């Protein structure tokens, strides 16, 4: 149960961070409204708060979260940017998820 909760929280956190960075990108690179910065800031605040909900050391959370972020960014590439990931993208995403699982779920008393 802990593992499912952790992974779900990481996935939601990654979406919040990507949205918080994507909205300013739309303003800066695609000439969209400057008002996108308001939901971007709220999304980044949500991202920071979500990271604080994990019951383990912050450094471990940040390290493991990085793997989930990479994986979600590849899904974003496909779903939002409309670019199909390569086999190498998918393999890299799997590798970082394995790294995340090792960091978060391996025994800590070794």
Domain ranges for the chain: 2-105
Record the pTM: 0.86
Q: The tokens 């989930």 sit on which residue?
A: 68
Task: Note the Cα 70 to chain centre separation in Å.
Answer: 7
User: pLDDT by residue (tens digit) across 57-95?
Assistant: 788 888 889 999 999 999 999 999 999 999 999 999 999
User: Given a cut of 70, is residue 32 above it in pLDDT?
Assistant: yes
CB atoms closer than 10 angstroms to residue 54: 19
Least confident of 3-7, 27-31, 39-43, 105-109: 105-109
Give me the mean pLDDT over the 13-21 stretch. Answer: 96
**What is the CB-side half-sphere exposure of residue 45 using CA atoms within 13 A?**
6
């Amino acid at each position: 149960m802990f593992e499912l909760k952790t992974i779900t929280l990481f996935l939601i956190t990654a979406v919040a961070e990507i949205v918080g960075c994507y909205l300013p990108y739309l303003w800066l690179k695609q000439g969209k409204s400057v008002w996108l910065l308001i939901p971007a800031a709220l999304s980044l605040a949500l991202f920071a708060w979500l990271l604080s909900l994990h019951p383990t050391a912050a450094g471990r959370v940040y390290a493991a979260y990085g793997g989930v972020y990479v994986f979600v960014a590849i899904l974003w590439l496909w779903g939002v940017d409309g670019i199909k990931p390569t086999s190498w993208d998918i393999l890299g995403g799997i590798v970082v998820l394995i790294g995340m699982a090792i960091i978060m779920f391996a025994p800590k008393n070794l």
